[in-house]
Amino acid sequence: MNISIKYAIPLLLLFACLLSGTSYYVLNHWLIVSEIQLEMQKEPVWEGSMEEIRSLMESRLQPFIGKKIWKISDELIKSIQLEPRVGSVKILRLLPNRLFIYVQPRKPMLVLLHPSSGKIHPLSMNGEILPPLPSKQIPNLPILRGTSFLKKKEIRKSVIQFFHLMPKQGEFSREAISEVKYSTQDNSLIFILSKNGKSIRVGYNPVKSQIRGVASVKSEKIPIEEFKKQKEILHKINIKTKRIESVLRYLDQKNIKWRVIDARFSQKIVVSTSKAI
């Protein structure tokens, strides 16, 4: 028994040394990033800019080669998301020394026509103006026209909020709008229909929270009064879009000629054929 204990202790010490040495080698040599694979989801809006975005991403990933694989998640994601055209980033660790990075570009619903340069700028969901698109690449998205959209982010956010709650298809839907303007005279948004160029006026509601619907406004942990206010605005917009849709269907069914629909009022919608409006 004494002989067994006599040999067991040195063996345990040897095993501990081997384990410690192996762990040190694995942590400091084996789990070091030596290869980073980048994959980007295709997004039609950025089709002409994908190579540029990929080149920027690859240059920002290079500093992470040689770093410990388990310590770079937050730092790497922040580095990639400095590019405003990037939406989400996912990281997959492929042991012992590889990283797989999946990048999803932002998917804009609207674009801004710059009043001075004439360039087309996509807009992010929270109203940020993204880098311009190549001149030959004009996406089939509604265009915001006017200096008010360029200067005031809250107006851009209000349009995005409205579009976010609009149906994707229908008489008054995202795909039915070609342009949006802003009237400084009565602070209204003017939606231009694609099929006939006619106008629909809607009251402007300032927005402070990022637009994702009521659930996301709530998740931002904003003050309860502000949350109630934003929830009420979202509810009113939802009702108004349905009312406008109903009016358009009625006008079409009755074959009534019209020029402007004024939906700025809370309890009614005015249809006019007057050229003065």
- Mean pLDDT rounded to a whole number for the chain: 82
User: 215: which residues sit within 8 A by CB, 6+ positions away?
Assistant: none
Least-confidence region, from 35-44, 45-54, 160-169, 268-277? 268-277
Mean pLDDT of 31-36: 88
Mean pLDDT of 252-267: 91
CA distance 209 to 212: 9
pTM, rounded to two decimals: 0.74
Q: Using alpha carbons, select from 182, 154, 177 the residue that is nearest to residue 167.
A: 177
Ordered by where they begin, the domains of the chain are 35-105 (3.10.20.310), 111-272 (3.40.50)
CA distance 146 to 204: 15
Mean pLDDT of 187-212: 80
User: 55: which residues sit within 8 A by CB, 6+ positions away?
Assistant: none
Q: Is the pLDDT of residue 3 over 60?
A: no
| Helices 50-61 and 73-80, axial angle in degrees (round to 10) | 150
Give per-residue pLDDT as tens, 97-156: 889 999 999 989 999 999 999 999 999 988 999 999 987 778 889 999 999 999 999 999
